Structure formats: C-alpha cells, structure tokens
Chains A and B, each alone.
Chain A
Amino acid sequence: MSFLEFHSLEKRYGPVAALSGVDLAVEAGSRTAIVGPSGCGKTTLLRLIAGFEAPDSGRIELDGEVLAQEGGSVPAHQRSIGLVAQDGALFPHLTIADNIGFGINRHEAGRDARITELAYIVGLDKAILKRRPHELSGGQQQRVALARAMAVKPRLMLLDEPFSALDTGLRVSMRKAVAELLEAAGIATILVTHDQAEALSFADQVAVMRDGKFSQVGTPRELYLRPKNRMVAEFLGDAIILPASLRDGFAQCTLGRIAVETREARDNARIMLRPEQLLLKRTAREGMSGTPDMLFGEVVELEFGGPTCMVAVRLLNSPDPPDAAAIANTPLILRKPGMDAPTVGEIVRISVSGKAHVFA
C-alpha cells in the first residue's frame, strides 16, 4: 500500500475526456513528476488530487484514507494537501506575512514566530514580510507561495508548473532548493510540468502523460534510456529512431552493427539512440578508403550556440545499402560541445557508444 494511490481515474468535460483511466502510486516522502504536452490532462489530474474537482469515476487514496470515489469527494479545504500554483497565486490584498500565515488560525499562539520561521526556511528576508506581493520578484513570490503552502503542514505537496514563470538560471536554482526543502520536511511531492528536463532532474519517479493517460511511469533514467514508445522517447529528449534487424544481441541498421540489450532475433524492429551516443571524430576524405566497416559522414550544417552547437551530419557510406538512400537525405542532428566543433564540409568518422534501445 503506497502513500498516495489513484485507481482508474476518469474525468470528462462534456464530450472531451480529460482523464481516461489513470493509475499511479506515490511513496511517502518521494518526488513524482507528471510531464506531458499542454492539454494532456495533467492539470486536471492535479485539480482532482487537490479536491477542486471530483472524478467521474475511480478512486484517490491518501495515507489509507479515501479522498474521492464514486459518489463522494472530500472537499479541498479538508484534505490538507498543499498547492503551489504556476504564478504563486498570492493574495494581492494581504501582506507577505499574512499570505504566509493565511492557513494558520489567526488566534493561534506563536503564529508570528511560525511565519518568520517559514520565511527563513524558504530563504526569504524578514524585511520582506511587511511588503505586498506585487513588490516582490517572481522567484520571491514562488518562495512565499511555498512557505504559505508549508504553513499548514500538508501531507502532500502539489506543484503546478511553479518554475515555468521564472527565468532560466533562477528556475534551476529554485527547483533544486524546493526539492531539498521538501525532502528535508519529508513531504511527498507531485510536480506537474511540460518541461522534460525539469521533470527528469526533479523527480524520483516520472510519469509521462498523453491524451489523458500515462504513457509510461518509471525512474527518470529508465524513461530516458528505455522509453516504451516513440512518443515517450521524443518527448523526453532528442532521439534517433532507426529501422533495424536484430540478431545475436546486435542490431543491423544504417549506422552499422550496434549492440542492443536483447538477444532476440527480429527483422522489422525499431531501435532508438540518444544523439549523445554518437561520437564524431575528424578525419579526411582520404581516410575513408579501405575501411568498409567504418561509418563516415560530412558536416552539412553547423549552428553555433555557445556551450553546445548543433551539427548536422550527412552519411557518406552505409554498411546497410537498402536504406542508405533514405537516410542520406535526412542528416543526423547532433549536439556537440561548442569548443572544437567541426566546420561545414569536414568529414567525420561516426561511432556509437553504449547500447541501442529496442522498442517492443
């Protein structure tokens, strides 16, 4: 029995199915990210967990207590589930101190001390407490929203794209700070985001969502390296997907013979490589002759982007002639360090590191 469980949750808005059968288990104190393109139903799922809406069918259980099932739903204010919304949703008519203390009874002893403590925990200066939300920067607003949600000692924390309104540098540091803070407090967390990098780096468990269903649930590493299908693979990062025939633990494809995890034999398989698995080594046109088992390509396009640059490589030869024509027209797009990048027209030797992933 996990800390939080959903069983076949369904929710429809008129003719549109926002959720069609979602199951998930979240362990106590863990971090889960739900990631998917906009409109996939992830915000609806979050609203069901928070209790703003009731599911049409299915069950939500938190710590052994049924929060929602057919015919009944615990209202949001009785659930003790924290929420940090996309833009913080701070109350504009209240000071920061009153925002943080909103969930604490006004007559409770030690309320002020608790507010100060919370502000300290989320890294806010004490002087800020007297100000109003609009006088704060975006990052500060998010910290206040987090402190406000933590004030009521929630059993579960929901983060609804809380970092997407921040600029890049701040986003990374806030994400790290929030993850550490919630871990230290031992609060299980669910993050909803459309940013795959954020999901992969934040969570212990990632669920990729599409069309109201989870496509795959697993650890970030598992999802990135062993995606179930093309959609998951491409959603979590750039992917090179090739037709191949499998034999004896190797795949034969336009990039030659590549090791795979499986030993099964299959003719019409599809394999996936992450672009960072392809290594480029500079060579010259003369170096190509007399090495039939090696793979060469020509750099046809280069886009400099600072630390990394985008390199487009057109294959010059292929050990797998039938498909060569097809792949030769679509260059491989790789990201390489900006330092020492090849130039357009250069010939490179291509090799593959690690194993390819085979789609079932």
Chain B
Amino acid sequence: MAHADDNTPLFRFPGSRLRGACRLMPSALPYAETVTPLTLVGSGTRRRLPLSWMTLAALFVSLFALLPLGFVITVAVQSGWETVLTLVFRPRVGELLTNTISLMVLTVPLSIALSVALAWLTERSDLPGARLWAWLSVAPLAVPAFVHSYAWITLVPGLHGLGAGVLVSVIAYFPFLYLPIAASLRRLDPALEDAAASLGHAPWRVFLRVVLPQLRLAICGGSLLVGLHLLAEYGLFVFIRFDTFTTAIVDQFQSTFNGPAANMLAGVLVTCCLVLLAIEVLVRGEERYARVGSGAARQLPPVRLGRATLPCLALMALVSVLALGVPFLTIGRWLVAGGAQVWRLDEIGLALGQTIFLAVAGGVLATVAAIPMAWLSIRAPGPLQRVLEGCNYIVGSLPGVVIALALVTITVRVAIPLYQTVFTIVTAYALMFLPRALISLRASIAQAPVELERAASNLGRRPLNALWVTTIRLSAPGAAAGMALVALGIMNELTATQMLAPNGTRTLALAFWAYSGEIDYAAAAPYALIMVLASMPLTWLLYVQSKRMAGR
C-alpha cells in the first residue's frame, strides 16, 4: 500500500487554521437564538435537530473507527498476561523491532537531507529548469512503493536486506518530505533572511539559524508520514526479503490465520505507530512558525549557484534516474520482453473493473462517513469534536494490516456471513482512508460559511433548499476531490485487499502481486503501468495543492 494511510501531517497546517477561523461561529449564535422566536416558533428546535443527528452520526463513525484499536486491546486482555509476555518478549519480536528501528533511523534522516537539498535547489536557487525538477521530485509518488521495489529487484536481483530497504524506501517516500518542505520554503518570509543578514550573519548561518528551524513543522509532518508508511508497507519489503512487523504479520496470518501470534505482533505494531505519533507531537512542539507580520511577502531573488550548477544538476538527474528512470525503464523493458501476449485484455479488463468498483465504493463510503465529522468540526467545534477527530486521525495512521486483521477477527467471531465480503473490504478501505476524505471535506465545508446559508434563508429559501444551494453546492468539489484521493489510495492497496477481499477478487494490485510472486515479471508489467498511470492525477493534485498552500 504505497499511498495508503492519510496525508494528515502534510495538511495539518491549513486544518488547524480552519479550526481557528471557526471560533468566530459562537458569536453568531446568540443572534440566531434571539431572532428565531420572533420569526418562526418551531424552527428553533427543528434547526437544532440535524445538529444532534450529526453529533450522533459522528460519534458512531468515530467509535466504529476505533474498532481496530479496541480489537488489539481486547485480544491482549483475552489472551491473558502470560501469553502476551511469552508472545511479545521473544527473539523474533526483538529481531523485527531491530529491523524496524534501523530502517527508520536510516531512512528518515536520509530522506530529510535529500528532500531539504532538493527543495532548496528547486525553490531557492537559479538551477536551470527548476520547475521541471520540482515536478520530477514529486513524481516518484505516482509509482506505488511495491512497484519501485519490483523495478529494483528485477534490475539488481541480488538486492536484499537493510541496505536495500533503506535505498528503496528513501526513493519511494522522500517526496512526502519534499512536498511540505518545498511548500514551506516558498512560504517563508524572505524579510527574515534579510534581517538575519543585516545582523551580520553569513548566508550559511542564516540558513542554519533562520531557515532550517522554520522548516521544522514540515520536516516533522513529512517524517511522520514516511515513518508510518515504513511501518505499514508490505510489498516493498517482501520483494527485497527484509522482515518488518507488517510482513511478519501477513506471513503469520497466511500460515496460521488469525492466531494469537499475529495478533500480538499487530499489538506491537500499533504501539510503534503510537510511539511515532507521540514523538512527532513532542518534536513539533507548540511553537508558531507562521509569518508574524501582515502584507504580502516579497519574493527573494534566487541564489546564484555559479560553478556549483553542474554538480547540483547531476544530483537532480541522479535522483530522477533512481526514482523514476529505474521503474519506468524496468516496466518498459518487461513490456517489450513480454510483447503483445502480456496484454491479456480480458483479464486486465476484469481486474480494472473490480478495482474501479472497489475504489469508487470505498471512496463514496469514506466520504459519506466523513460528512458528520467534517460538518461538526466546522459548524460546531468543541472539545467533543476535537476528541472524535483525534480518534479518526489515530486510526487513519494505523497500518492496513492491523485494520484487516481486526476486521477478519471480528467478522469471523461475531458476523461470519460478512467474512470476506465486499462489505467488509469496503469498510476496511473507508477506515483506512477516512482522514483523506475528512481533510478535503472539512476544507470545502469551511468554504461555505454558515452566513451564506443564513443569507439564503433571509432571501426566502426554505431551510433544506438553503442548505442545498449554499453549503452542499459549495462543498461538492472538495468532496469529489476527497473521493478521488481515497479511490486512488484504494487502487494501490495490497495488504488489506489480500486479507479481506472475497475469494476470486483480482484487483490490479493483487494481479500484479500474484504474477510477480510467480516471478512472471513480464505479465506483471501491464498492471504496474496501469497503476502508475492512474496515480498520476493524484500526484499532480498533491503537487498543485502544495503550490496553493504556499499561495501561488
């Protein structure tokens, strides 16, 4: 699941700003209450009713979203302390933990260094073709992580272990850091750098003392995203034979179904995620990094690279070759080698159809489930809403394998008819991608302030009609964008699909996985190509969105 999980940290900035803007709402409330008795006696209660329905719905969705966490805790409690101890404190878990920590400790700093360098070069220097390089630095996101891995393993068959894991992970995930860092660099107030220079600091010290500290928020958010992906990723590490908790859980699941061993590993994995979230909160701190002043920031003249231009271009080219050249060359090579016969159109058509069906269903369900939460966070923010929203984000950061394991166990124990049904897999998708839908929806509902709805009522529209012509119409594009984000995430999902989908399901990712598992790399290539092409719009959207975040 290359693009699984949420992009929460990427977008945390506008989100929190929106929340601030919503504090304006309560001041408008007394006005509404004093006015209603004069105009329509019954409307006061009628207006409050949908709100409470909304609260209930949001509560329901959030509690439902907490199922996987509840599952982990329940299993631990049911197994008893002794079993937990023996299953958790054993050499195998220690080995996996060492693997995971080494992977994180190497991949995250490397990705940060690479992303800061690339972002600085594309945003701040006079590097020739900076816009093209900026796009090329984001484009690797369009290639699912397991396709990256597939490309490398077919190119260098001996590739395996920690070194390989770090290499492919950096290449597959650095854009998650590059995007927010580049956006922050663009948004930084150049007046600060001028001020530092006028206070007698040489350029490199200005960078260390003024620029870098202000990138902290972006670096924290991006690192969290990369870290969560490292914990959740399955396909990437299976290709290069590097064991992580996720691969171990899937292995266990395939051999012993939902035995206690797999469940305990899931518990450790969830703990890792929570630790990661906590570290990010601690490092990020409560500081404010926004521009203090008002007015538009002037644009800094780009730094002249001079003689360094060629080495910098070489770095850019090297990264692009590794991150884009390798996957595209490999896919191309296998397509050529496979010729026309790998295009088994009936099979590909079937997989495409199933994938689109699941993606659309999951997208719709996630968006519908996100409506109450998004509505609440804009129209009635408060402590309850903050807690509920926090729940949703934590669940969104859980690996797909944990959610899948939880749903398998629950359906098998409580609702066996639902086991391996479309309903269950779509529910899993909705849980995994809820934050994506939530963020888009929330932003778009914020675009439709309640004042517009009131204005429509004032002009004589009935309540429902007023709602339709203002809020719903205005938030439709955001909802659609959120749906697209979810759908594209589902398209490349592998782990949960593998564990939950009804027998005989063959999505693009599953077909790709099956063929490459049989070392039939040529037959897998068309599926890889379709997934990459389908991910292009998502990548473009992220790129444009990050530009817009910076006000350009």
Contact B288 A165 (CB under 8 A): no
Contact A89 B195 (CB under 8 A): yes
Is the C-beta of B389 less than 8 angstroms from some C-beta in chain A?
A: no
Is the C-beta of B198 less than 8 angstroms from some C-beta in chain A?
A: yes
Nearest CB in chain A: distance from B291 CB, A: 7
A85 CB contacts on chain B under 8 angstroms: 191, 194-195, 293
Nearest CB in chain A: distance from B56 CB, A: 38
Contact B197 A134 (CB under 8 A): no
Is the C-beta of A359 less than 8 angstroms from some C-beta in chain B?
A: no
Q: Which of B197, B198, B287, B295 contacts A93 (CB 8 A)?
A: B287
Q: How many residues of A contact B (CB 8 A)?
A: 38
Within 8 A of B (CB), among A36-82: 47, 50-53, 75-82
Is the C-beta of A235 less than 8 angstroms from some C-beta in chain B?
A: no
Is the C-beta of A212 less than 8 angstroms from some C-beta in chain B?
A: no
Is the C-beta of A103 less than 8 angstroms from some C-beta in chain B?
A: yes
Contact B292 A92 (CB under 8 A): yes
Known: A93-B213, A134-B288, A149-B198. A87 touches B191 (CB 8 A): yes
Interface 0/1 of B205-219, CB less than 8 Å to A: 010011001101000
Contact A83 B194 (CB under 8 A): yes
Q: Which of B198, B200, B288 contacts A132 (CB 8 A)?
A: B288
Contact A92 B199 (CB under 8 A): no
Known: A87-B294, A89-B293, A93-B214. A50 touches B199 (CB 8 A): no
Is the C-beta of B23 less than 8 angstroms from some C-beta in chain A?
A: no
Within 8 A of B (CB), among A259-288: none
B201 CB contacts on chain A under 8 angstroms: 77, 102-103
Nearest CB in chain B: distance from A89 CB, A: 4
Contact A76 B295 (CB under 8 A): no
Q: What is the bound-complex CA distance between A92 and B202, given in angstroms?
A: 20
Known: A52-B194, A89-B195, A93-B213. A80 touches B200 (CB 8 A): yes
Is the C-beta of B410 less than 8 angstroms from some C-beta in chain A?
A: no
Interface 0/1 of A120-163, CB less than 8 Å to B: 00000000000011100000010001001101101000100000
Q: Which residue of B lies closest to A78 (CB)?
A: B200
Contact B292 A88 (CB under 8 A): yes
Contact B301 A53 (CB under 8 A): yes
Known: A89-B191, A93-B213, A165-B295. A103 touches B199 (CB 8 A): yes
Q: Which residue of B lies closest to A136 (CB)?
A: B292
Is the C-beta of B105 less than 8 angstroms from some C-beta in chain A?
A: no
Is the C-beta of A91 less than 8 angstroms from some C-beta in chain B?
A: yes
Is the C-beta of A258 less than 8 angstroms from some C-beta in chain B?
A: no
Nearest CB in chain A: distance from B126 CB, A: 14
B200 CB contacts on chain A under 8 angstroms: 77-78, 80, 103, 152
Q: Which of A75, A102, A134, A158 contacts B292 (CB 8 A)?
A: A134
Q: Which of A77, A93, A141 contacts B202 (CB 8 A)?
A: A77
Within 8 A of A (CB), among B273-293: 287-293
A334 CB contacts on chain B under 8 angstroms: none
- 14 residue pairs of the A-B complex, CB under 8 angstroms, read A51-B198, A52-B194, A75-B203, A79-B198, A82-B198, A87-B294, A89-B189, A91-B210, A92-B288, A92-B292, A133-B292, A141-B293, A145-B195, A149-B199
Chain B residues with a Cβ under 8 A of chain A: 189, 191-192, 194-203, 206, 209-210, 213-214, 216, 287-295, 301
Chain A residues with a Cβ under 8 A of chain B: 47, 50-53, 75-83, 85-94, 102-103, 132-134, 141, 145, 148-149, 151-152, 154, 158, 165
Kindly list the 9 A-B residue pairs having the minimum CB-CB distance in the complex, ordered from nearest: A87-B293, A103-B199, A89-B191, A76-B197, A83-B198, A93-B213, A89-B195, A77-B197, A133-B292
